[in-house]
């Protein structure tokens, strides 16, 4: 099944751009493909809540007079949707609006919601950020403690573990060193990973070694966040856990999955590399 879906994706292939609106460009990818390796499934009940936040920076269309307009689209896809949308197919789909005349932003928004909902088979949220609102999209500094400057020993085990202290703490950590690989093209993907938890203190050095160990990991952005979440949840047993990964832009789109033990809404705060 995996070969069937991945071989049909436009990733890694030369694909003609459609000059006019074309929803057939969108390609779904079953979330179950990557979740099988983690031993999780929607049928058994997912161990997390969350969303995938997509920022689409190159959305442009024509008004009824043929004048180009533009916006940044913020798309939120729930983590329990059966499918995710493949990123290059979304880029091709959005590009198909470039020479398409649309009566107004409400028509554009309703069209985007309808087409993407049909692909992921779940209700999505979509916001169009117009140019007059772009100042809200400025990047900011991550919250919490950066673990990237800690001593590093590649010979030690590369799994997160709790320290000797038995007390319960709440802590926010982040690292800019996450790198993974696209499962189709093999190209590297880069992200800042954020971890917030309540529980026994997690050894920061062990967490850094684990994040660095993922430099050869292969997976879509969404599954990378779920891999990190499930590993920390299993090995460190926190009372509460949130993991988010803010990946750098590819093809005018950045993808930012977050997973949490509790239902919440994550603010869409840009990283400086996005």
Catalytic, out of 27, 52, 56, 189: 189
The closest alpha carbon to 26, from 80, 77, 101, belongs to: 77
Instruction: Say how far apart CA 254 and CA 274 lie, in whole Å.
Output: 7
**182 labelled catalytic:** yes
Instruction: Say how far apart CA 87 and CA 220 lie, in whole Å.
Output: 10
- What is the C-alpha R_g of the chain? 19
Catalytic, out of 27, 56, 115, 182: 182
Instruction: Say how far apart CA 207 and CA 159 lie, in whole Å.
Output: 7
Q: Which residue has the tokens 């140019």?
A: 131
**52 labelled catalytic:** no
60 contacts 101 by C-beta, under 8 angstroms: no
Q: Which residue has the tokens 């949490």?
A: 260
Catalytic positions, written as ranges: 182, 189
């Amino acid at each position: 099944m995996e070969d069937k879906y991945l071989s049909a994706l436009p990733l890694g292939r030369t694909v003609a751009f459609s000059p006019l609106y074309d929803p057939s460009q969108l390609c779904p990818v079953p979330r179950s493909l990557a979740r099988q390796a983690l031993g999780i499934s929607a049928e058994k009940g997912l161990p997390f809540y969350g969303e995938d936040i997509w920022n689409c920076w190159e959305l442009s269309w024509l008004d009824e007079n043929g004048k180009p307009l533009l916006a940044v689209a913020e798309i939120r896809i729930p983590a329990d949707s059966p499918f995710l949308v493949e990123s290059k197919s979304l880029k091709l789909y959005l590009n198909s609006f470039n020479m398409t005349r649309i009566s107004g932003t409400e028509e554009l928004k309703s069209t985007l919601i309808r087409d993407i909902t049909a692909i992921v088979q779940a209700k999505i949220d979509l916001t169009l950020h117009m140019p007059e609102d772009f100042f809200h999209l400025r990047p900011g500094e991550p919250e919490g403690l950066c673990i990237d400057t800690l001593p590093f020993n590649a010979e030690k085990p590369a799994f997160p573990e709790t320290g000797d202290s038995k007390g319960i703490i709440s802590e926010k950590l982040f690292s800019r060193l996450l790198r993974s690989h696209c499962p189709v093209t093999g190209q590297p993907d880069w992200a800042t990973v954020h971890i917030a938890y309540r529980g026994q203190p997690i050894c920061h050095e062990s967490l850094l070694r684990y994040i660095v160990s993922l430099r050869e990991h292969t997976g879509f952005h969404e599954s990378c966040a779920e891999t990190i979440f499930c590993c920390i949840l299993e090995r460190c047993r926190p009372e509460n856990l949130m993991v988010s990964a803010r990946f750098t832009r590819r093809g005018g789109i950045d993808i930012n999955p977050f997973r949490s033990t509790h239902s919440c809404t994550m603010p869409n705060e840009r990283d400086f590399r996005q």
